Amino acid sequence: MSDCSALFAPLQQGLARLEQERLRRRHRVVDSATGRFALVEGRQLLNFCANDYLGLATAPALAGAAQVALSRYGSGSGASHLVCGHLRPHQTLAERLAQFLGLPAALTFATGYLANLAVPTALLGRGDAVFADRLNHASLNDGCLLSRADFVRYPHNDLDALARRLEASSARVRLIAVDAVFSMDGDLAPLDRLLALAERYDAWLYLDDAHGFGVLGQGRGSLAHWGIASPRIIYMATLGKAAGSAGAVVAGDPVLIEWLQNRARSYIYTTAAPPAVAATTLAALDLIEADSWRREQLRQHIERLRSGLAGTCYRLMDSTTPIQPILLPDNATALALAEALFERGLWVAAIRPPTVPTPRLRITLSAAHEAADIDRLLEALKDLQ
Ligand code: PMP
């Protein structure tokens, strides 16, 4: 066998460096559903890491819909959408999502990552420009970079800085790309003012609503929350978070959607999601519409956590969403606090660079939690301060 050590040495050194900086990542295997609880290493933990904001990932109606679709349509879709993988549940879901969002047309994707690759690459090329908030999700940044357009970033939610960059641009096609709810800070982008800028500079406005869909605007997401509409808005939401399923939707003008269907490589060149996943999402939409109590429960939990931490040494951010990060001075402190909570049966993710600029505990709340769960977390945090 030939010597491969020259190939592996830089990887081993890189991993050692990550270890030293407390940045090496490992999986924890979960032996149960990830709902209110998660079974990890033989221990039942209260789960404050999931993006299952409405508690739908463990709702029996979703699993039931998946089982019915599995027996009817089989496990795999068999091909990409444009070959023979576009089954009835995919079509019904796209139509239902468009209607639910109040937008004329929609296209579903196997994951949010793929949707974020699709839109910038299908709309932009060399000589064009994309304007992106510094705290946008990594998948959106990847899509912007892959498009080969000028990648112009502006400081978080600084719309004066964005306006200056738009003013200075002579790009042919301009796209403003933002997270509607920032995934690691939990705050909102000011969509009304962003739309005004998009109109003034004749740009597309692309919104990643991964964390707003199902939660804001009576479940219809950030467009409903802000009460805005325009053909230049391209709306994206992921379906693996509040919807408790998997995949993503891009919705907007029918011409745009048909263009994506014809031009978006991450739509065309990948196997369509299993039809049972589309059926699961359809069942989720029923509950997102019908169960407003889930959002009310969530609102109460957010308030309970925030008022419970007021007056402690913990620094919360300006977030009204189920994403409630606590900023910490360094990676070691973030890890130690997450570890101490884990020992007490509470699972909270420590998020470190490069995912975020500042280390933090990212607490996520869910309608699946009970008030007593929030109290347990508060007690442990106060004990550890
Ligand atoms: N956008 C945002 C803001 C996200 O938080 C995520 C998921 N972490 C994605 C896109 C990617 O979605 P998916 O997990 O469906 O690939």
| Centroid of ligand 1 to alpha carbon of 30 (angstroms) | 20
Residue 1's pLDDT is what? 77
CA-angle at 257, arms to 125 and 194, nearest 5°: 70
Pairing type for strands 360-364 and 323-327 reads antiparallel
Backbone φ and ψ for 349, nearest 5 degrees, come out as -80, 135
Can you give the pLDDT at residue 23? Answer: 84
DSSP reduced 3-state for 175: strand
Question: Is 355 flagged in the annotation as binding?
Answer: yes
Q: What is the pTM of this model?
A: 0.97
Q: For residue 5, give Cα distances in angstroms to 1, 12, 13, 20, 24.
A: 12, 10, 12, 22, 21
| 27 belongs to an annotated ligand binding site | no
Give pLDDT tens digits for 236-270. Answer: 999 999 999 999 999 999 999 999 999 999 999 99
Maximum CA pair distance of the chain?
Answer: 64
Of the residues 51, 139, 280, which should be mutated to test ligand 1's pocket, given the most ligand atoms within 8 Å of the CB?
139
Structural contact between residues 121 and 149, judged by C-beta atoms closer than 8 angstroms: no
> How many angstroms separate the CA atoms of 335 and 129, rounded?
38
- 366's CB contacts (< 8 A; 6+ apart) are 35, 36, 47, 50, 52, 53, 54, 55, 298, 301, 322
Distance from residue 130's CA to the centre of ligand 1 (Å):
19
Secondary structure of residue 246 in the 3-state scheme: coil
- Ligand 1 midpoint to CA 374 (Å): 25
| Distance (Å, whole) CA 75 – CA 66 | 10
Taking Cα atoms as reference points, which of 231, 265, 238, 271 lies closest to residue 123?
Answer: 265
Is 241 labeled as catalytic in the residue annotation? yes
Q: pLDDT under 70 in the chain at which residues?
A: none
137: CA distance to ligand 1 center in Å? 7
CA angle 162, 165, 169 (to 5 degrees): 140
Residue 113 marked in a binding site: yes
Atom of ligand 1 nearest to the CA of 116: 10
Give pLDDT, residue 300. Answer: 98
Kindly provide the ipTM of the predicted complex, given to two decimals: 0.99
Amino acid letter for position 227: G
Q: Which residues contact 211 (CB under 8 A, 6 or more apart)?
A: 51, 53, 179, 180, 181, 182, 183, 186, 241, 242, 321, 322, 323
> Which residues form the pocket of ligand 1, taking CB atoms under 6 Å from any ligand atom?
111-113, 116, 137, 139, 179, 183, 208, 210, 238, 240, 248
Note the pLDDT of residue 82.
98
Pure H helices in 211-314: 222-226, 254-263, 265-268, 275-290, 292-309
The Cβ of residue 136 has, within 10 Å, a number of other Cβ atoms equal to: 22
Is 211 part of any known ligand binding site?
A: yes
- Choose which residue among 52, 109, 113, 179 to substitute to test ligand 1 binding: the one with the highest number of ligand atoms within 8 A of its C-beta: 113
- Residue 86 assigned ligand-binding role: no
pLDDT digits (tens, 9 = 90+) for 71-125: 999 999 999 999 999 999 999 999 999 999 999 999 999 999 999 999 999 999 9
- Amino acid type, 279: A
Kindly give, in sequence order, each residue whose CB lies less than 8 Å from that of residue 313, ignoring residues fewer than 6 positions away.
385
**Pick the catalytic residue: 139, 147, 183, 366?**
183
Q: Assess whether 211 carries a catalytic annotation.
A: yes
pLDDT for res 120:
98
- Phi and psi angles of residue 226, each rounded to the nearest 5 degrees, phi first: -90, -15
Atom in ligand 1 nearest the alpha carbon of residue 238: 15
